Chain A
Amino acid sequence: MSENKDILLDIRDLSVQFNTDSGVVKAVNHLNMHLERGKSLGFVGETGAGKTTTALSILQLVQTPPGEITGGEILFNGQDVRKMTDAEKRRLRGGDVSMIFQDPMTSLNPIMTVEDQITEMVQLHLNLKGEAARERAIEMLRLVGIRPERAKDFPHQFSGGMRQRVVIAIALACRPQLIIADEPTTALDVTIQAQVLELIKKLQQSEKTSMLLITHDLGIVAETCDTVAIMYAGHLVEYADIKSLYTNPKHPYTQGLFNAVPTLESPLGSRLAVIPGLPPDPTNLPKGCSFSPRCPYAQPICHEKACGMREIEPGHFVDCHFPLTPESGNKFLEHPAKEAE
């Protein structure tokens, strides 16, 4: 990967584990990922694949017992976040990198007005006080579509979608360089989802902010992101720009994900081709490739040795001994809906 000034976030060989009573959970394993300035990256994977942990690691907010970052570097603007002082980390959080969390119902302090929650942000990073801070807060609220009269209301007086807008307002208040949105619409109704995504996209484009969008929904990624990273069991398995990934997925897991999405062209009455089996136990990852137990293309070597990310085409990386080609076909469809192991 090139050392160039356009790379805002560069994660190198990141490994994070959690030491629990039932064993060591390897949440993130040797993750390598980068994001260019002004672009947005979709971070896709099932629940528990390690996406949120990666995001929290960027902000150094992983709960330190029981969590532990065991290796790697997280370079933000060339500086390793792990080596920052506490004061630098606090400047990073909210000032350079903001996070939008998943559940708007619980992410806001119930006894603080929404205005106060934004002014707190502004006072911390933009050094605005008093009236100036208030004005900025009201401006942000207006930006996300909340009337100024509601500034002194409390979170419980807003619906889920509105609360998420408040969260977005807080995240953008200090013009961060990077927004991390962790499944920002999962907890919302479908109709509200569209609105909120629109809003995020609009703001991101107008402020030229980079974005890391964590989601399990391939549709959302297609609409909003420039590049995609697919994560499975704590590993990155494929990374490419949108067009390449959607037209030419190279990792069997990615193909499996696409299979599971019904399209308008699917013949009536056909079943969704699921990926047989279950994700591995994170305290007991399989030897070799983590996906091999469920992979219909697996060969003996896959069970023995992991491959590691390789650049198959310019800008398109896969972690697979036998990346798919257009000729590989679609083995998931040949064995539809096999019972889970």
Chain B
Amino acid sequence: MLKYALRRILILFPVVLSVMFILYTILYFTPGDPARIALGEEATPEAIEAFRDEHGLNDPFFVQFGRYVYNAVTKFDLGYSYNMKSPVAQELAIRIPTTMRLAFAAVLFSTLMGLPLGIISAIKQYSLLDSIVTVFILLGVSMPTFWTGLLFILAFSVKLGWLPSMGFDTLSEMVLPVVTLSGSSTALFAKMTRSSMLEVIKSDYIRTARAKGQKESVVIWRHALPNALIPIMTIISMQFGALLGGSIVTEAIFSISGVGRLMLEAINLRDYPIIQGGVLFISVSYCVINLAVDLLYGVVDPRIRVK
């Protein structure tokens, strides 16, 4: 087991490095000269050349990349944003806690709402509840997050005035953004849990459990459910990445100053260091979460454990 864990952790490093490489390469080849952006339109060619020399912009690609990686890994230095006139890492650091809180809250909410809905609608298949949940799933998956956000604001802020539509500091400010972001995830989890449960309930070993004379409730909760939830773990961890990405939209709608909104501004201003740093951070977080869940999987599913 330990060897398995170690191996999975080691794989993380080349993956992160590759992600850095891809991002760096893509953004390296975008049109636009960092020197010109930093110094402004009126800068003289000499000033630009001097700037380029000073910041190593004339060095070969791999040297620049190597420098970037070295700085990132040893000093957490992800470059400097000329637009914001401050280090990338600093701008990110201010906003990371907010985005993380949003994403985690959304995962928690989706799991706590989605899983029970899926389980119950599987147990009571063909009932009214099942039909309602199915409709909810369909809508949840088809409605765009940015639309549901607007509709929530319309209903609860504008018309009813119950909840604020901006910010993320007080509890009431957190409600709408979290619910909005969770929308499609909740539907997805409910759908996956439902189908996993349905499949497990049809298995032979469930029939064996009943043939043992076990109570139906125990059959469902102690035999079916644990088996059904194992694949859901992977889905939850994968969804985390989608939620981190989706936070961009939610932060935009609810004016939350998180990493997502930073990304949006950076794109409009062509602030590549920020884009690079932000995407890198989110991707690395995503990888780490996936790794954690993978390891958890090994603990929970004996079939993986004893390989």
A–B contact (CB under 8 angstroms): yes
Our pick among A92, A111, A157 for the contact of B213 (Cβ within 8 Å) is: A92
CA separation between A92 and B215, bound complex, in Å? 12
How far, in Å, is A164 (CB) from chain B's closest CB?
Answer: 12
A61 & B211 in contact (Cβ 8 Å cutoff)? yes
Inside 8 A of A120's CB, which chain B residues have their CB? 212, 214
Residue of B nearest to A93 (CB): B213
Residue of B nearest to A110 (CB): B303
B213 & A109 in contact (Cβ 8 Å cutoff)? no
- CB-contacts of A124-176 with B (<8 A): 124-125, 154, 156-157, 167, 170
Per DSSP, chain B at the interface is: helix
CA separation between A247 and B223, bound complex, in Å? 48
- Using an 8 Å CB-CB cutoff, how does the interface string of B208-237 with A read, 1 for contact, 0 for none? 111111110000000100110010000000
B205 & A93 in contact (Cβ 8 Å cutoff)? no
CA separation between A140 and B205, bound complex, in Å? 20
Inside 8 A of A91's CB, which chain B residues have their CB? 213
CA separation between A169 and B207, bound complex, in Å? 17
How far, in Å, is B157 (CB) from chain A's closest CB?
Answer: 46
Known interface pairs A101-B207, A108-B205, A110-B227; A156-B212 also in contact (CB < 8 Å) = no
CA separation between A91 and B230, bound complex, in Å? 31
B303 & A109 in contact (Cβ 8 Å cutoff)? no
CA separation between A191 and B213, bound complex, in Å? 32
Residue of B nearest to A98 (CB): B211
- CB-contacts of B171-223 with A (<8 A): 203-205, 207-215, 223
CA separation between A98 and B210, bound complex, in Å? 11
B212 & A109 in contact (Cβ 8 Å cutoff)? no
Residue of B nearest to A95 (CB): B213
- CB-contacts of A91-123 with B (<8 A): 91-95, 98-99, 101, 103, 106-112, 120-121
B306 & A154 in contact (Cβ 8 Å cutoff)? yes
A110 & B212 in contact (Cβ 8 Å cutoff)? no
CA separation between A301 and B115, bound complex, in Å? 61
- Using an 8 Å CB-CB cutoff, how does the interface string of B289-307 with A read, 1 for contact, 0 for none? 0000000000001110010
CA separation between A124 and B302, bound complex, in Å? 25
How far, in Å, is B141 (CB) from chain A's closest CB?
Answer: 27
A125 & B303 in contact (Cβ 8 Å cutoff)? no
A107 & B208 in contact (Cβ 8 Å cutoff)? yes
A125 & B213 in contact (Cβ 8 Å cutoff)? yes
Residue of A nearest to B206 (CB): A109
Known interface pairs A111-B226, A154-B302, A154-B306; A124-B213 also in contact (CB < 8 Å) = yes
Inside 8 A of B208's CB, which chain A residues have their CB? 101, 107-109, 167, 170
Inside 8 A of B211's CB, which chain A residues have their CB? 59, 61, 93-94, 98-99, 101
How far, in Å, is A65 (CB) from chain B's closest CB?
Answer: 8
Give 15 new A-B contacts, CB below 8 A, not counting A93-B212, A109-B209, A111-B227: A59-B211, A101-B207, A101-B211, A107-B204, A107-B207, A107-B208, A108-B208, A109-B205, A110-B302, A111-B303, A121-B212, A125-B213, A156-B303, A157-B306, A167-B208
A residues touching B (Cβ–Cβ < 8 Å)?
A: 59, 61, 89-95, 98-99, 101, 103, 106-112, 120-121, 124-125, 154, 156-157, 167, 170
B residues touching A (Cβ–Cβ < 8 Å)?
A: 203-205, 207-215, 223, 226-227, 230, 301-303, 306
Q: List 26 A-B contacts (CB under 8 A).
A: A61-B210, A61-B211, A89-B213, A90-B213, A93-B210, A93-B211, A93-B213, A94-B213, A101-B204, A101-B208, A106-B203, A108-B205, A108-B208, A109-B223, A110-B205, A110-B302, A110-B303, A111-B301, A111-B302, A111-B303, A120-B214, A121-B212, A124-B212, A154-B306, A167-B208, A170-B208
